[in-house]
Amino acid sequence: MAIVASGLGSGLDVNSLVSQLVAAERAPVAQRISRRETTLNAQVSAMATLKSALSAFKTGLDPVSSTATLQPRQTKVGNEELFTASAGAAAAAGSYQVEVVRIAKAQQLASQAFTDGATATVGAGTLTLSVAGESFDVEIGDEQATLAGIRDAINASADNTGILATLITADDGARLVLTSARTGAANEITVTQAGGDGGLAVLAHEPPAASNWTTLRPAADALVRIAGFDVTSTTNMIDGAIDGVTLQLKAEAPGNPITLDVSVDTSATLERIKKFVADWNTLSTKLAGLRSYDAGTGVAGPLLGDAMLRGIESRLRSLLTQSVPGLAGDYQMLVNLGISTQNDGTLKIDESKLNAALAADLGGVARLFAGEGGVASSIKAAIEEALGANGSFATRDAVLQRGLKDTKAATEALDLRMAVVEARYRKQFIALDSLLTQMQSTASYLSQQLANGVSS
């Protein structure tokens, strides 16, 4: 729109008058749109807060969502320099004598000494290295025919099945050392060669045939004696020899049995349940803040009266207080454990009652939380449903985003309508300004004529 000078003839301030009239006409509609946009943005922010709080609570449910984590076992080893132990829920409490007769070892071989050191020329051709029947080929060209070149070619092979090559340089020369990545008597290294100039023959190793290699460490299985019974393993991890218990062997001590104690760790279960209660209380406080109303200040939470919030909160509280279907025995509800709901919706623990329940029936307590239809399992499922792609949050977010899009469209429509209104007002006031200018000119002319008539 062209800029028109205001009131050049009449002195009428057209720009100011037009601006004031347009602003007055725009204000009520603009304020309604702004209030709607503010409300929608507040709800978007509140929904993000609610979603974050529910996600955090769901993650915090993990320690009480598994009967295994709620029935932890603790182990005590008389000498952890020899072995360590861990136990799962299937492990029975008891004491065991464990003797580490031998740990599993990976084979290590050393070649003959090469007096020229790492740069000594060995030969070209193909080396085939194997561990337990799994082999890989290494092509040795003329430029790689040195001891160092062969080491690098073995380590760089993309097909390497687990053999590390290195050099040890001593007074009598350098040796190529091969170390298997696999422990166990069956995982011996073999080396064959083919083609080339034949120089690689000095690296052949095919037991029981004669070899130029020296065995620095033989491949060996682990041997552990538990309660007097021998258990062998290709690795230093012994799993399943004692139900639910895993041993990690570290050092040998033949003839020196060590005591391993396995016991139920109810203190860990207690801490996990206490954390569950604390996490719920944190979530409950956030929910209360979102739907709060301060009568003194008149300030309301962003989700006061929100049906979706009421529905989620009601469902979670119901799952906290109802009996778990299918459970028998004394522990079918949280209140049976001494966990009760207070007037403000938070939970309170009677710790002595909870400890008594843990001592009396740890399995029953675990099933109450983590069994099929258990408290934690059901709450996690309910939250996952709400947060899912087709859940209530996705639906609400779509509604809010559509509302924000509508407010943007309404603002754009208002801008266009106000441009038309401004143009109309400006046209009217310019016409008025022109008319006033003409009237002033006519009045001035008449005044001059009257003045001339009087003077004559």
Mean pLDDT of 89-103: 93
**256 lies in a domain?**
yes
**292 lies in a domain?**
yes
CB 200 within 8 A of CB 173: no
Taking Cα atoms as reference points, which of 189, 165, 174, 173 lies closest to residue 107? 189
Q: Which of 156, 188, 217 is the last residue of a domain?
A: 217
Sign of the dihedral defined by the CA atoms of residues 348, 353, 359, 363, in that order: negative
Residue 253, pLDDT > 90, answer yes
Residues 258 and 147 in one domain: no
Task: Count the helix, strand and coil residues of the chain and give each as a percent rounded to the nearest 5.
Answer: 45, 25, 30
What are the tens digits of pLDDT across the range 18-39?
889 888 988 999 999 999 998 8
- Name 174's bridge partners: 114, 169
Residue 452, pLDDT > 80, answer no
Residues 286 and 327 in one domain: yes
SS3 call for 114: strand
Residues 231 and 259 in one domain: yes
Residues 278 and 361 in one domain: yes
**45 lies in a domain?**
no
SS3 call for 329: coil
SS3 call for 198: coil
Q: Which of 217, 252, 285 is the last residue of a domain?
A: 217
pTM for the predicted model, two decimal places = 0.65
Among 120-129, 404-413, 428-437, where is mean pLDDT lowest? 428-437
Residues 148 and 237 in one domain: no
Which of the four pLDDT bands, split at 50, 70 and 90, describes residue 3?
A: very low
Which of the four pLDDT bands, split at 50, 70 and 90, describes residue 444?
A: confident
Mean pLDDT of 214-230: 96
Q: What is the DSSP letter of 91?
A: P
Q: Which has more confidence, 8 or 179?
A: 179
Which of the four pLDDT bands, split at 50, 70 and 90, describes residue 7?
A: very low
- Name 170's bridge partners: 173
Residues 80 and 228 in one domain: yes
Q: Are strands 134-140 and 83-87 parallel, antiparallel or unpaired?
A: unpaired
Q: Long-range CB contacts (< 8 A, 24+ apart) of 348-355?
A: 348/277, 349/273, 349/274, 349/277, 351/270, 354/270, 354/273, 355/266, 355/270
Residue range(s) defining the domain that contains residue 253: 73-103+222-264
Q: How far, in Å, CA of 54 to CA of 32, rounded?
A: 33
Residues 253 and 146 in one domain: no
CB 270 within 8 A of CB 354: yes
What pLDDT was estimated at residue 454?
Answer: 65
Q: How far, in Å, CA of 14 to CA of 428, rounded?
A: 10
CA angle 275, 280, 284 (to 5 degrees): 150
Helices (DSSP H) in 218-306: which residue ranges?
Answer: 266-290
Taking Cα atoms as reference points, which of 64, 56, 50 lies closest to residue 334? 64
Residues 205 and 271 in one domain: no
Q: How far, in Å, CA of 324 to CA of 262, rounded?
A: 31
**30 lies in a domain?**
no
Residues 346 and 372 in one domain: yes
Q: How far, in Å, CA of 437 to CA of 422, rounded?
A: 22
Tokens of 182: 């696999």
**361 lies in a domain?**
yes
**78 lies in a domain?**
yes
What are the tens digits of pLDDT across the range 132-188?
889 999 999 999 999 999 999 999 999 999 999 999 999 999 999 999 999 999 999
**432 lies in a domain?**
no
Structure-token match 């769901």, residue found: 58
Q: How far, in Å, CA of 295 to CA of 246, rounded?
A: 61
For the chain, how many structural domains are there in total? 3
What pLDDT was estimated at residue 133?
Answer: 83
Residues 289 and 381 in one domain: yes
What are the tens digits of pLDDT across the range 296-352?
898 888 899 999 999 999 999 999 999 999 888 899 999 999 999 999 999 999 999
Residues 113 and 204 in one domain: yes
Residues 190 and 88 in one domain: no
**16 lies in a domain?**
no
Which of the four pLDDT bands, split at 50, 70 and 90, describes residue 96?
A: very high
- Beta-carbon contacts of 139 under 8 Å, excluding residues fewer than 6 positions away, are 126, 153
CB 217 within 8 A of CB 108: yes
